[in-house]
Amino acid sequence: MEILILCYRWIFGFIVLIALIPILYKYFELLVYYTFSTPYSWKTEIEKPRLFLFCFGIFIFVLSLNMMSVKSNVFVNIISLILGIFSCCIFHFIWTSKFENKFIQMIKKKLGSGLTSNLYNQNTNIDEILEQFPEFDCESDTFKNFLLGNRINKKNKIICSYPKSKLIRFIIIIYDLSNNNKSYHKEIKDICEHYFIKKDGNSYTFRETSGEITDAFEDKKQESNVYCKEQKHIRSTFLKVQ
């Protein structure tokens, strides 16, 4: 039993050492670029969750090592082995495309939209904002949560009389979205479906490929009269109530 435990610690210790190499290399590379004042492409929205899960994996691994002992019963040692394997799976997962493209977005969706309006600050009077937008019928806290990207209860959705195309433009302006990020297409769909409901009680729905979103981004790119007029109205309204 002693030999098995020793082998386990050596094998998993070696795996953790291998897992340390890419993350240490990345931070060493960042340090070198920072030292020589050279721009470095650092994707905070990816690297922060990656570092968090890496530290969590280290914690699980250390816990599994401490649990495994000659004095422990077979059940505890099996749990320890499972935790060790789980930590190794974490070390592998954080470098996959699924982690970067799907997992992070899924967690963001659970916690909130991941977007925050730069038009909102602590001095913004939400009640006055809603007075200027009679097309929205909701409580001030609900609209505030929309601006901050916080999740809301399904019963507290914003009742909206905007047609879908105008609502999409409103969201693009509020969050200052750019068509350069293709994930915003999905985010706009999620925002419409999560925060807003039509006056007739039906939800805003989208096809798999939504032409309305593409058209709205094209309006922004071309600086169309409709887009510019709405943008000016929205921004001036927020500035007035601060």
Q: Each residue of 43-60: pLDDT tens digit? A: 777 888 888 998 898 899
Lowest mean pLDDT among 56-60, 78-82, 179-183, 196-200: 179-183
**Which range scores top for mean pLDDT: 7-11, 136-140, 150-154, 201-205?**
136-140
- Higher-confidence residue of 198 and 33: namely 198
What's the confidence (pLDDT) of residue 102?
Answer: 81
List CB contacts of 217: < 8 A, sequence separation 6 or more: 172, 177, 178, 179
Residue 121 has pLDDT above 60, yes or no: yes
Residue 225 has pLDDT above 80, yes or no: yes
Q: Say which residue the tokens 């050492």 belong to.
A: 17
- Rounded to 5°, the CA angle 44-48-52 comes to 175
Pairing of the two strands 158-160 and 196-198 = parallel
The mean pLDDT value of the chain amounts to 82
What would the two tokens of residue 47 be? 């690297």
What integer is the mean pLDDT of 77-81? Answer: 82
What integer is the mean pLDDT of 143-152? Answer: 88
List CB contacts of 231: < 8 A, sequence separation 6 or more: 173
Cβ(30)–Cβ(42) below 8 Å: yes
Provide the Cα torsion 211, 145, 104, 180; round to 10°: 40
Residue 39 has pLDDT above 80, yes or no: no
Q: How far apart are CA 92 and CA 199, in angstroms?
A: 48
pLDDT tier for residue 2 given thresholds of 50, 70 and 90:
low
What's the confidence (pLDDT) of residue 157?
Answer: 93
Q: How far apart are CA 103 and CA 95, in angstroms?
A: 12
**% of the chain surpassing 90 pLDDT:** 21
Residue 151 has pLDDT above 70, yes or no: yes
The residues pairing with 160 across neighbouring beta strands, listed in sequence order, are: 136, 198
Cβ(101)–Cβ(43) below 8 Å: no
What would the two tokens of residue 39 be? 């721009």
**Structural domain boundaries of the chain?**
2-111, 126-240
**Is the alpha carbon torsion for 165, 169, 174, 177 positive or negative?**
positive
- Higher-confidence residue of 204 and 110: namely 204
To the nearest 10 degrees (0 to 180), the angle between helices 104-111 and 44-67 is 100
**% of the chain surpassing 70 pLDDT:** 88
What's the confidence (pLDDT) of residue 1?
Answer: 57
Residue 175 has pLDDT above 60, yes or no: yes
- Higher-confidence residue of 146 and 221: namely 146
What's the confidence (pLDDT) of residue 208?
Answer: 59
